Structure formats: structure tokens, C-alpha cells
Amino acid sequence: MAENEKTALITGITGQDGSYLTELLLEKGYAVHGVVRRTSNLVRSRIEHLRGDENIYGKSLFLHYGDLSDGTTLRRIFSEVQPDELYHLAGQSHVGLSFEIPESTCEEIGMATLRLLEIARDQPRPVKIYHASSSEIFGNALESPQTENTPLRPASPYGCAKAFATQLARVYRDSYGLFVCNGILYNHESPRRGENFVTRKIARAVARIARGLDQELSLGSLESRRDWGRAEDYVAAMWLMLQQAKPADYVVATGESHSVRDFVEAAFSVVNLPSAKYVKHNPAFDRPADPARLVGSPKKIREELGWEPRGSFDDLVREMVEAELAAVDAGMDA
């Protein structure tokens, strides 16, 4: 390994953020190690292009089997990898699903974070840690936009679990001097978003409708509002946090609020179709509690770290719809 080469360990490497972060770190000359579950053999498509590159896989990218519930294996991986930076991105990441599987959501997010903090505390060399927090810790926020100092009021089991993990990270930073940053990320999307997320569902349906394969798009509330950004921009923010002399927490957001309706209309405009003709409301998709005014203030990260998102809301929607059109067209040609 080169003298100045840094080593990063990523949990959740096969996810949307993990795959973009891996690409970013490889570009910056890192050796990147990822923790994967044995069951995730079938869902590595987001990093398959890297695994299939013999100049990368086994040379600067390495995968290790492990589970966040298995402290012994995690310690073994830490001992083997000796990371300079840990990016903890793994965990059940679907807010709606957390109402159906609250116990495993809290176990995966809360206890797994505690386990990793304990392991990091025992390392012979200091490890810089990025913890993936979430705007969902604010839930039914008392103020809008939210900042790093906004009180936590989670409105879902997912939000509660993330709030617990976020506070733990702060406790370990304050009590043990660990370099740990909470990235309080607002919704960030990409063509690699999971298919059970509303943005990907919309983009996919619009592409299929445009190609005559589907006739309608069934959604829950169109009035739910979110602060949506581009995942590629947000992983750059994660990296920036760990390059600082001192750890801190940062809200990563666009500062703009858009409704599901806005996303739908922008998506249909990419293919020049009227959204009203195809969209149907299905109450089954409405959530038990939906945070009303989640929009973040990126003032701190812009001023302190110089971070700026590179793409707009319309850019994001266009990227997602065009990727789905390409996928549909490739399938039709096959």
C-alpha cells in the first residue's frame, strides 16, 4: 500500500450511497473495504461494475462477509483492515417499512451503531467515523428549516432508531474523544435508489407509461413534501466531514421543499405527458404519520466545509427518468 494511501471501511457498500461513495473514494486513491452480508450476493448490482474490473477488485476494492449483529466478525474485519475512516451507512433505510418491522429496524440501526462505536473505541489507532443520520430524527419539527440544533421529534420507528444512534455518536464523541460526525442527510435520490422508494417508483412508472407498457401510476399522498437532493452530491459531503481537523454534525440538504406532486409533474414533463391523466391516489400507500415540513438548512456545511450541491431538483428528476427510459429500451431490445 502506498505511504499516503488512506483505507476506508464502508458498511452498506452495496446500497445507493455506498456505491457512489466507493466510486468517489477510489477516484481519490483510497483502498476501499466493504462489509457485505452473505445474503446480499444477489443485490450487488450497484457495485457490480467495480467488482468486474480486474484493475480495481482485489487491488483497491475488497469485500468482507459480515453482519452488523455479529460483533466478533466486525472486530475481526477491523483488525484486518485497520481503517483510517469508517463510513457507517448500513441499516434498514425505508421509513414506511419501519412501521411494519419496528424491532429489527431499531436493532439494525441503533444497536449496530453502538457496536461499531465500541469497536472503534478499542482500536489502537484513531478511526474517523461518519455516521449516517437522517432528517427523520426531526420528524414533526418545531421549526422550519431545520438546523443542527433543532430538537429531535421523530415520527416513525426509523426516526426513533436514527435519533438514538445520532445521540450515541455524540456521547462517544464527547465522552471518549472519538472523531465521529453525524451527517444529517435529507432525502437524496439517484437512478440507483431502491425500487420501493417513491421517487424511483415514479421514475420507473413514467418511463413505462411513456413506452406504452403501463397505463397508470398509483401513489399515496401527493402533498407530502421533502427536501430532495442528488445522492452523488451528498456522498461528497460525507467525505468532506472526515477531512476536517475537528468532528461535528452537519445538515446536508438543498434548503428547498418539493411535494410528491412536484416530483410527479417534473417526471411526466421529461416525457411530455400530462400527469393528471395517469396518476391515481391509493390510500393504502398513505403513512400512519408523515412529517409535514422537513426541509433542511445547509448553511453550516456550506460555510464551514464549502459544500455545494452540483445539480438541481429538475436535474435529479431528469436523470432518474432518463435512466429508467434507457433500462426499458434496453429490455425491449433484448
Residue among 133, 134, 190, 297 flagged as catalytic: 134
Active site residue 30: no
First to last CA, the chain: 43
Residue among 23, 85, 108, 136 flagged as catalytic: 136
> Residue 4 and residue 286: Cα distance in Å, rounded?
50
> Residue 256 and residue 306: Cα distance in Å, rounded?
18
Residue 322: which residues within 8 A CB-CB, separation 6 or more? 270
Residue among 158, 186, 234, 278 flagged as catalytic: 158
Q: How many other CB atoms are found less than 10 A from the CB of residue 3?
A: 4
Give the residue carrying C-alpha cell 417499512.
97
Active site residue 158: yes
Active site residue 134: yes
Say if residue 54 is exposed, middle or buried (CB neighbours under 10 Å; 0-12, 13-18, 19+): exposed
123: DSSP letter: -
Q: What is the DSSP string of 14-68?
A: TSHHHHHHHHHHHHTT-EEEEEE-GGGGGG-GGGHHHHT-TTTBTTTEEEEE--T
Helices and strands, number each (H, E), in the chain: 11, 13
Active site residues: 134, 136, 158
